């Protein structure tokens, strides 16, 4: 009966740490409602993959041979081989997004660009902390505030830290309501936060809505060819939504497909949360750098809005709107609306913030494409 104790005797202290991490992620998901669709499967998966001789990982069984583990198989097929899971999730995300307000106000596209600044600040900080360029770039992409992009970029670059990067990306997305007000207040005055902005609703033709995803894909593809998969799948989902003849497919993409992939993505990514890879000082550093990325994303957006106010003083922009240029949709837009109302109960910034926030969705995948395009060239 000694075999009954094989598992217990094989538990390491690092695995115990991972059980605590898994428990913490489940607690954050259940009690705090922090990105529960991702953090709960990741938390449970973290426990599954760290049980000694876990059957969810491929094992060499004595006298039998190799026994394939389901989570390892899902990771190798769904993420490692083709990045299929994060890409398929983009179809669902694209189908969920209404780009209409942004199409009516195209200058807001630039806020999406400005709020990617945190990615690059995080890369610099990561390099200063001793990470090599590939890992630093993978860690920096946490600043895209976009889980699937973070997973995809770190996987394509073959980073050693996919697990901690995914955990940091999703955790900070959930913490946007705490991180952004802090960062915004660092670089704005009360007077600036009270700037009112007019919003005039203008209609967008169906032709424009249909052509938009095709044009965005073409432009992104020409500028950063490696972003085609990311942008293309996002825009394919949006085309399904806007074409008007594929409502059932659009609904499926928004609901069934997105839910199914989300469910599998969380538990699959836990493959990269094995104790021997996860429990080290670098994981803590990555969590810290992730915070830097989110703070500087917000600061980048705010400072860009302030710059525009200097150049065009007649039509002032509330600088807080710039911070909504991150991809965390719709949390960031809601945070800005709430902050605006707190400063001035008549100051409704929601629609402007939504425009910036939606532009961040495109800019974040473009940023992922830029990193994938530039980093290999630099190292080559």
Partner 1 sequence: MEQNLLYALELTGQGMGGIFVGMALIAIVTAILGKLTSKKK
Contact positions vs partner 1 (CB under 8 A): 102-104, 106-107, 109-110, 112-114, 116-117, 119-121, 123-124, 126-128, 130, 132-133, 136-137, 203-205, 207-208, 211-212, 215-216, 219-220, 223-224, 359, 362-363, 366-367, 370-371, 373-375, 378-379
Q: Read off the DSSP letter of residue 59.
A: E
- Decide whether 74 or 328 has the Cβ nearer to partner 1: 328
Tell me how far, at minimum, the Cβ of 320 lies from partner 1, in Å. 20
Between vectors from CA 111 to CA 164 and to CA 37, what angle results, nearest 5°? 35
The angle that helices 162-174 and 36-49 make with each other, rounded to 10 degrees, is 150
- Decide whether 104 or 260 has the Cβ nearer to partner 1: 104
Between vectors from CA 222 to CA 216 and to CA 228, what angle results, nearest 5°? 65
HSE, CB side, 13 Å, CA atoms: give it for residue 219: 11
Question: What would the DSSP string read from start to end of 127-181?
Answer: HHTT--HHHHHHHHGGGG--HHHHHHHHHHTT-S-HHHHHHHHHHHHHTHHHHHH
Report the greatest alpha carbon distance in the chain: 82
- Decide whether 62 or 378 has the Cβ nearer to partner 1: 378
Structure tokens, 330: 């719709």
- 151: nearest Cα among 96, 65, 98, 75: 75
Tell me how far, at minimum, the Cβ of 184 lies from partner 1, in Å. 20
Tell me how far, at minimum, the Cβ of 66 lies from partner 1, in Å. 38
- Decide whether 75 or 120 has the Cβ nearer to partner 1: 120
- Decide whether 224 or 258 has the Cβ nearer to partner 1: 224
Tell me how far, at minimum, the Cβ of 351 lies from partner 1, in Å. 17
Tell me how far, at minimum, the Cβ of 290 lies from partner 1, in Å. 16
Tell me how far, at minimum, the Cβ of 370 lies from partner 1, in Å. 5
- Decide whether 72 or 116 has the Cβ nearer to partner 1: 116
Residue 61 pairs with which residues in a beta bridge?
A: 65
């Amino acid at each position: 009966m000694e075999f009954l104790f094989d598992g217990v005797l094989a538990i390491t202290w690092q695995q115990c740490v991972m059980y605590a991490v898994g428990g913490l992620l489940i607690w954050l998901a259940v009690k705090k409602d922090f990105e529960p669709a991702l953090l709960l499967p990741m938390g449970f998966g973290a426990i599954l993959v760290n049980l000694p001789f876990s059957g969810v990982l491929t094992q060499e069984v004595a006298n039998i041979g190799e026994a394939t583990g389901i989570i390892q198989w899902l990771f190798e097929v769904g993420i490692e081989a083709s990045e299929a899971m994060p890409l398929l999730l983009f179809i669902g995300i694209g189908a969920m997004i209404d780009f209409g307000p942004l199409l009516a106000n195209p200058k807001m596209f630039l806020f999406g660009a400005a709020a990617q600044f945190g990615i690059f600040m995080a890369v610099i900080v990561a390099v200063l902390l001793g990470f090599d360029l590939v890992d630093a770039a993978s860690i920096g992409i946490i600043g895209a505030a976009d889980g699937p992009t973070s997973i995809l970029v770190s996987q394509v670059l073959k980073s050693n830290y996919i697990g901690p990067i995914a955990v940091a990306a999703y955790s900070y997305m959930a913490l946007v309501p705490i991180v952004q007000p802090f960062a915004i207040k660092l670089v704005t005055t009360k007077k600036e936060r009270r700037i009112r902005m007019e919003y005039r609703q203008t209609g967008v033709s169906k032709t424009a809505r249909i052509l938009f995803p095709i044009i965005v894909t073409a432009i992104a593809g020409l500028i950063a060819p490696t972003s085609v998969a990311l942008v293309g799948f996002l825009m394919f989902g949006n085309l399904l939504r806007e074409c008007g003849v594929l409502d059932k497919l659009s609904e499926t993409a928004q609901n069934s497909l997105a839910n199914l992939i989300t469910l599998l993505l969380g538990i699959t990514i836990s493959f990269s949360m094995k104790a021997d890879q996860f429990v080290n000082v670098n994981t803590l550093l990555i969590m810290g750098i992730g915070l830097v990325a989110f703070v500087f994303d917000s600061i980048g957006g705010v400072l860009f809005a302030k710059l525009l106010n200097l150049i065009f003083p007649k039509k002032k922009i509330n600088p807080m709107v710039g911070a909504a240029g991150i991809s965390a949709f719709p949390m960031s837009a809601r945070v800005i609306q709430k902050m605006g109302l707190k400063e001035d109960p008549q100051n409704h910034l929601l629609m402007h913030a939504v425009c910036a926030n939606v532009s961040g969705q495109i800019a974040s995948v473009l940023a992922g494409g830029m990193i994938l395009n530039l980093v290999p060239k630099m190292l080559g």
